[in-house]
Structure 1
Amino acid sequence: MPFIQANIKKEIEEKRKDDSEFREAWDESRAEYELIEKMIMLRKEENITQKELAKLSGKRQQTISKIERKETVPTITAFNNLLNALGYELKIVKKQ
């Protein structure tokens, strides 16, 4: 039996249209995912490994790995700690 190809983006959009609870949860998770993706990008741009970031931040490498694989959502304090260790800070700006 051949694999069935799925269009995940299309399926998510359909689910968002039909299920307001799913839509709310999905939309809320996007901001978290985007922040984590940005942190990963910054870590790589700075040529810092997860192990090095763990040493700089006082976190365990396994914890950083779980955050980057989106298996756990860090608290704001933990996320801010990781950003500080990378030499960055979290700011709040008004949407345009």
Structure 2
Amino acid sequence: MPFVEVNVKREIEKRRQNNEQFKKEWDESRAEYRLIGEMISLRKQENITQKELAKLTGKTQQTISKIERRESIPTITAFNKLLNVLGYELKIVKRQ
């Protein structure tokens, strides 16, 4: 059986249009992905390895890796601690 090429973005958009529950969950997950992506960028910008970040936060390197691979979503407390160690803070800002 030959491989079938799938346009993932198009398939996700179809599901978002046809399934309100999927749309809601997908859209909410984007915020988590974006925040974790920003945290990864900040860690790299500060030249801190996963191992160093783990040591500074009392976590394991494996935990940091799972968070960065989006296999584990940290609590707000844990995420805030990661940001604090990197020298940043989490703020809530009203959408425009």
TM over 0.5: same fold? Answer: yes
Residue of structure 2 equivalent to 1:11? 11
Percent of paired sites with the same residue: 71
Unaligned stretches of 5+ residues in structure 2: none
The number of residues matched between the two structures is 96
Matched, 1:23 2:29: no
Q: CA deviation at 1:4?
A: 2.1
TM-score using structure 1 length: 0.95
In 2, the alpha carbon distance for the partners of 1:53 and 1:91 equals 21
| Residue aligned with 2:41, SS | helix
In 1, the alpha carbon distance for the partners of 2:5 and 2:86 equals 39
TM-score using structure 2 length: 0.95
In 2, the alpha carbon distance for the partners of 1:30 and 1:49 equals 25
Q: CA deviation at 1:2?
A: 4.0
Matched, 1:44 2:41: no
RMSD: 0.9
Q: CA deviation at 1:37?
A: 0.4
Unaligned stretches of 5+ residues in structure 1: none
The one-letter code sitting in structure 2 at the alignment partner of 1:75 is: T
- 1:82-93 aligned within 5 A: 82-93=82-93
